[in-house]
Amino acid sequence: MNILEANKIHKSYGNKFNKQEVLRGIDISIVKGEFVSIMGASGSGKTTLLNVLSSIDKINNGTISIEGKDITSLKEKQLAEFRKNHLGFIFQEYNLLDTLTVKENILLPLSITKTPSVVANQKFDVIAKELGIYEIKDKYPNEISGGQKQRTSAARSFIHEPSIIFADEPTGALDSKSASDLLNKLSDLNKKRNATIVMVTHDPAAASYCNRVIFIKDGQIYSQLHKGDETRQNFFKDIMKTQGVLGGVQHEA
């Protein structure tokens, strides 16, 4: 079952005298439970694609549906409500509130939806233990490592059990060990919870944790790779080969 459907989506910036077309009629569908990576060179449109799919930015033409609801037709208030209940976000720079503890940061989506505290605490205990950050629950962001901050951000995105989680370069600010720790945790949660994750990355090692990689070039889908039964190591090699054909993507942010 497709949880996300985007049809003929166009996105441009500027005016009629100076117009930059970033997305050029992209069609994309995501199946429930997929872990999908979007890759492409700097300026290819990958971040813009993530932003419009996640409702952070608006498209000029086309339609985007999540859970069968056309989010492009929603008014701002309806969209905010939909986002609150159905979408989760993991950002490169963590976006944690410094004045809140790890636990308070993670519980934010549930406090917004007025979830009873008993239920919220039960959900917190489960996700914090799954992500290995339960022991630091009373610490503040400035007291923990980058890897712990990103796992806190991930826990916050999962706790309200959204329909789909969007991750924008989640390993971009992490060292290689912290990055692999995070990706292993995301992969585990993807399988255990049948969670749908769409991730933008420039890192082929990060993309190799996914089920499918979509390559974007000049605002259009260039190609796709499916992992299938391949090992992560072999899938990584396939991604590197496609990047080579695409031309220098591995060196771009």
The pLDDT tens digits of the residues spanning 61-76 come to 999 999 999 999 999 9
Tokens coding 222:
């260039």
pTM: 0.92
Assess whether pLDDT exceeds 70 at residue 249.
no
d(CA 101, CA 81): 25
Three-state DSSP at 18 gives: coil
**Angle at the Cα of 18 from the Cα atoms of 16 and 24, rounded to 5 degrees:** 75
Three-state DSSP at 120 gives: helix
Average pLDDT across the chain, whole number: 93
pLDDT of res. 250:
43
d(CA 244, CA 233): 17
Task: Let me know: does 20 contact 12? Beta carbons within 8 Å.
Answer: yes
d(CA 26, CA 60): 12
d(CA 152, CA 144): 10
